[in-house]
């Protein structure tokens, strides 16, 4: 199954002509999952190879505008482009994010009289008080939803921290298990860990032949992990005839943060194929970055090193950093300096560093067993 990730916005704070506000799409066969949706995400989507109508799930890391202002508009445009005569887009769009998101959407869509041609549900993550300074905690009055559901809204769930694992279990299906973890920011922020299930290794056809097994349904059963009894009474265990399992891919996408919180994040992100982390300001501005709840390349690198990630992807750059393709900007504001800082911190770690740019697509290949 092919899998890739496209960055639609890599700037912090607001969209500019050089960088869109935060948004990225993780694409697997047939499905697109959107992570954050800053203002202008819909036009970025139109400029990309992706189709907004393919988005089936949305994940919002935190409620800052540069990660959220684009969502109501995007939902409305997807609806406008939906053909009401086809059933294609009638599936419920599941939206995951911090407590308060349900109210935000209900009020925004409600006050603007926005109708959608498809249902949506907001599943809220309940933050813990340690995730932000006191002034960043939202009161119940601000987050509690009032009034009836929006006509297209379906009841969503409220997801609490699983204290034993220090994470939030969002959902699990045949292909993936998706969890969230806690980060520290000016308002409660979350990261997401998308873990693909391992898949069985290839069948050892030589061994199967020796056992006298011919290709057919029995092969499928062995591959599905079921033992098979031969006519002779001999039981063939799947482990005898299967090569080593192919490990599922792991993609970890961090929201804005100046640090992780609790043991959950590093535990969940261990061995990530791709770890996406913000680097809003350069190392020389660490104090300012931390004061605003953000990270520097060195700080992001420390997380990637602690997780033994294969690749660290930096994004969410201050708008002062122009893309490296642009001729503008003074040298000290060059985004490649941020890459250099991360690489320096990751010397001898084996972690590869990539700078995200708007419309960069990264393939996420399957890896051989380690």
Stretch that binds Zn ion, among 2-10, 24-32, 252-260, 299-307 (CB under 5 A): 252-260
> Cβ of residue 356: shortest distance to Zn ion, in angstroms?
14
CA-based R_g, the chain, Å? 23
Between residues 64 and 322, which has the closer beta carbon with respect to Zn ion? 64
**Measured between alpha carbons, how far is residue 214 from residues 200, 203, 207, 229, 238 in Å?**
19, 12, 11, 13, 15
Check residue 36 for interaction with Zn ion (CB under 5 A). no
What is the smallest separation between the CB atom of 155 and Zn ion, expressed in angstroms?
Answer: 28
* Residue closer to Zn ion, measured from CB, 116 or 125: 125
Nearest to 70 by CA among 8, 130, 146: 8
Q: Give CA–CA dist 55/229, Å, rounded.
A: 44
Q: Which stretch binds Zn ion (CB under 5 A): 44-52, 60-68, 176-184, 295-303?
A: 60-68
Q: Is 57 in the site for Zn ion (CB under 5 A)?
A: no
Strand 311-315 with 158-159, pairing: unpaired
Is 4 labeled as catalytic in the residue annotation?
no
Residue among 127, 116, 114, 20 at smallest CA distance from 69: 20
Place of tokens 């969230």: 180
Q: Is residue 19 involved in binding Zn ion (CB under 5 A)?
A: no
To the nearest whole angstrom, how small is the minimum distance from the Cβ of residue 66 to Zn ion?
4
Segment interacting with Zn ion, rule: CB under 5 A, options 64-72, 100-108, 142-150, 241-249: 64-72
Rank residues 98 and 247 by Cβ distance to Zn ion and give the closer one.
98
Annotated catalytic residue, options 66, 256, 273, 358? 66
- The least CB distance from residue 252 to Zn ion, in Å, is 17
Does 66 engage in binding with Zn ion (CB under 5 A)? yes
Cβ-based nearer residue to Zn ion, 267 or 286? 286
- Residue whose CB is less far from Zn ion, 12 or 131: 12
Residue that has been written with the tokens 């045949």 in this structure: 174
Q: Where are the beta strands (DSSP E) in the chain?
A: 3-9, 23-28, 31-35, 55-59, 93-98, 120-125, 153-154, 158-159, 168-172, 176-184, 189-196, 228-229, 235-236, 250-253, 259-260, 274-278, 311-315, 352-355, 361-363
Nearer to Zn ion, 64 or 106 (CB): 64
Taking the complex as a whole, the smallest distance from the CB of residue 285 to Zn ion amounts, in Å, to 16
The reply on whether position 256 binds Zn ion by CB under 5 A is yes
Tell me which residue has tokens 């399957």: 366
SS3 category, 321:
coil
- Least CB distance from residue 214 to Zn ion, whole Å? 58
| CA–CA dist 317, 22 (Å, integer) | 10
Where does this chain touch Zn ion (CB under 5 A) — which range of 66-74, 164-172, 190-198, 226-234?
Answer: 66-74
- Least CB distance to Zn ion at residue 263 (A): 23
How many residues in the shown chain lie near Zn ion by CB under 5 A?
A: 4
Which among 59-67, 132-140, 158-166, 343-351 is the span making contact with Zn ion, rule CB under 5 A?
59-67
From residue 248, give the alpha-carbon distance in Å to each of 26, 311, 320: 15, 16, 38
Q: Nearest-CA neighbor of 313 among 293, 331, 335, 292?
A: 335
CA distance readout (Å), 262 to 32, 120, 209, 224, 276: 30, 32, 51, 37, 19
Compare residues 10 and 12 and give the one whose CB is closer to Zn ion.
12
Nearest in space to 109 (alpha carbons), one of 98, 95, 91: 95
Interface with Zn ion includes 64 (CB under 5 A)? Answer: yes
* Residues lying near Zn ion in the complex (CB under 5 A): 12, 64, 66, 256
Catalogue the active-site residues: 66
């Amino acid at each position: 199954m092919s899998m890739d990730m496209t960055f639609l916005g890599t700037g912090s704070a607001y969209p500019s002509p050089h960088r869109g506000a935060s948004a990225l799409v993780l694409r697997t066969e047939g499905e697109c999952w959107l992570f954050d949706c800053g203002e202008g995400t819909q036009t970025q989507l139109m400029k990309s190879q992706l189709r907004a109508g393919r988005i089936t799930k949305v994940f919002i890391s935190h409620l800052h505008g540069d990660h959220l202002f684009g969502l109501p508009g995007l939902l409305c445009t997807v609806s406008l482009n939906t053909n009401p005569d086809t059933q294609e887009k009638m599936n419920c769009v599941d939206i995951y994010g911090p407590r308060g998101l349900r109210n935000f959407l209900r009020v925004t869509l409600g006050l603007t009289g926005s109708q959608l041609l498809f249902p949506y549900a907001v599943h809220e993550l309940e933050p813990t008080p340690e995730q932000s300074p006191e002034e960043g905690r939202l009161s119940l009055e601000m987050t509690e939803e009032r009034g009836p559901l929006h006509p297209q809204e379906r009841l969503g769930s409220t997801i609490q921290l699983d204290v034993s694992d220090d994470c939030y279990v969002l959902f699990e299906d045949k292909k993936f298990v998706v969890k969230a973890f806690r980060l520290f920011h000016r308002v409660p922020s979350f990261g997401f860990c998308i873990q693909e299930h391992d898949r069985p290794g290839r069948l050892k056809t030589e061994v199967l032949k020796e056992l006298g097994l011919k290709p057919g349904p029995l092969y499928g059963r062995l591959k599905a992990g079921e033992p098979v009894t031969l006519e002779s009474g001999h039981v063939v265990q799947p482990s005898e005839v299967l090569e080593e399992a192919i490990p599922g891919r792991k993609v970890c996408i961090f929201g804005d943060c100046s640090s992780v919180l609790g043991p959950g994040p590093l535990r969940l992100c261990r061995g990530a194929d791709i770890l996406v982390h913000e680097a809003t300001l350069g190392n020389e501005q660490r104090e300012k970055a931390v004061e605003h709840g953000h990270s520097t390349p060195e700080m992001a690198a420390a997380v990637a090193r602690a997780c033994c990630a294969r690749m660290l992807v930096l994004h969410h750059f201050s708008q002062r950093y122009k893309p490296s393709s642009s001729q503008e900007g003074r040298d000290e504001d060059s985004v490649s300096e941020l890459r250099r800082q991360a690489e320096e911190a990751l010397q001898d770690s084996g972690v590869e560093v990539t700078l995200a740019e708007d419309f960069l697509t990264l393939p996420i290949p399957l890896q051989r067993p380690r």
